[in-house]
Chains A and B, each alone.
Chain A
């Protein structure tokens, strides 16, 4: 008995619209992030992550508006990422209904954002997200932190950065492996177990999910939650199917009845 492993669909949102197309036929508007998130809620998702990738000074406003709209239809915890530059931005998104705020590039540029957010709202609201790539063969082993959606290599060591993030008060990590992102070949298990060994913050595995087996492997490597996008958006696997596989493998998951939503 204890906590359930969480299954988290991730939605990339640009100017209020879901970026990658989805194949759900029973949605009126498959491009509406709130409607899609509500569908995932009904299907048994344990949490939702919205990444607002609106590339302008409007990003903060669109992300806050999204948080506010989601509060009307989404009755599971949700995280907003993107558009967060300051502690005030975090406050606005939490007040608008978000449970957590995810910070990535902004935390690297201004690490005090982690401390400030944790002090003001509690660590449980502060998700430190990192985009990492393995170092080139021949160089020393490990992973480096990338910024701006993977365009800029900071040459910072990812594990060292996460250890610092924990010390500053991050309540959760999203480990996004850029090597496996979109490949559907599985999460970077070495990365997960390395971070699990060096820190004690809950880990959300991200990047590379192609099957429930990949998710089970991530949990066995030390992840407390698994995040995925395309595997769900394109209907390859439903959340329920994933959870059934995980349950059979002995992973504790929250099962819901497909018709009533209550077991």
Chain B
């Protein structure tokens, strides 16, 4: 694989993609923000960004054939990073959008924070505790990251949980298996700890 990594960032009208792109570029990636599923299929690594609602996100992915492109990238072993709502859509379903199927790569659903005394959305800096070691999260145990979300995944398979945070409840903040990893927080807004995560992802992708 070439030293310069060609990262396809999935363009599906997902809101603020600019900061994810800038963070990847900052740590040396060549980023192709693409609406073309074929480009995603050819990339060295795939990043799925996104803000917004679960159902809306899945609809936009499907309209563009990007749901299949993401599944195919995962199956073919391409290093894959999901950020924010992209963590949630890896699961099968969400309380946010009943009846809408997620990508279903990871078994489980997505729940809403109970608002007993706590403000929802969970917004601000919170600490990540690693559940197990992972090359992309290397050196980041105990670091604070920036979160903005009202829902969180509940994986059926404990080994899919890579890291957790606490907000009234201890919740899954990073999950993945094989060539796939996704984080709930905005690494691109998490200062140098966040940039380190993107850097780790690129190193991991280069070694894959």
Residues on A lying within 8 angstroms of B by beta carbon are: 1-4, 6, 41-42, 44, 46, 68, 71-72, 75-77, 94-97, 99, 122-124, 171, 200-202, 224, 254, 256, 260-263
Shortest distance between the CB of B23 and any CB in chain A (Å)? 6
Residues in chain B near residue A123, CB distance under 8 A: 121
Nearest A residue (CB) for B194: A75
Residue positions of B touching A, CB distance < 8 A: 15-16, 18-19, 22-23, 26, 119, 121-127, 139-140, 142-144, 146, 148, 166-167, 186, 188-196
B124 CB contacts on chain A under 8 angstroms:
3-4, 6, 202, 224
Nearest-neighbor residue (CB-CB) of A3 within chain B: B124
Are B125 and A3 closer than 8 Å at their CB atoms?
A: yes
Residues of the B chain whose Cβ atoms lie less than 8 Å from the Cβ of A263: 142-143
B129's nearest neighbour on chain A, judged by CB, is A1
> Is chain A's binding surface mostly helix, strand, loop or mixed?
loop
19 pairs, CB–CB < 8 Å, chain A vs chain B:
A1-B126, A3-B123, A4-B124, A44-B191, A71-B22, A75-B190, A75-B194, A76-B189, A76-B190, A77-B186, A95-B18, A96-B18, A99-B148, A99-B189, A200-B119, A202-B124, A261-B191, A262-B139, A263-B143
CA distance A200 to B119 in the complex (A): 8
A77 pairs with B189, CB closer than 8 A: yes
Query: In this complex, what residue of A is CB-closest to B51?
Result: A122
Which residues of chain A come closer than 8 Å to B126, judged between CB atoms? Answer: 1-4
Contact A46/B125 with A76-B191, A263-B143 known, Cβ cut-off 8 Å: yes
Distance, CA A134 to CA B186, complexed state (A): 39
* Residues of B with C-beta under 8 A to A71: 18-19, 22
- Docked CA distance A186–B191 (Å): 28
Contact A262-B193, Cβ < 8 Å, known A4-B125, A224-B124: yes
Contacts of B121 in A (CB 8 A): 122-124
User: Contact between A202 and B188 (Cβ–Cβ < 8 Å)?
Assistant: no
B125 lies within 8 A of A6 (CB): yes
A41 — which chain B residues lie within 8 A by C-beta? Answer: 191
Q: A97-B19, A124-B148 are in contact. Are A75 and B125 (CB under 8 A)?
A: no
Residues of A within 8 A of B143 (CB): 262-263
Contacts of B16 in A (CB 8 A): 94-95, 97, 99
Q: Which of B127, B140, B189 contacts A75 (CB 8 A)?
A: B189
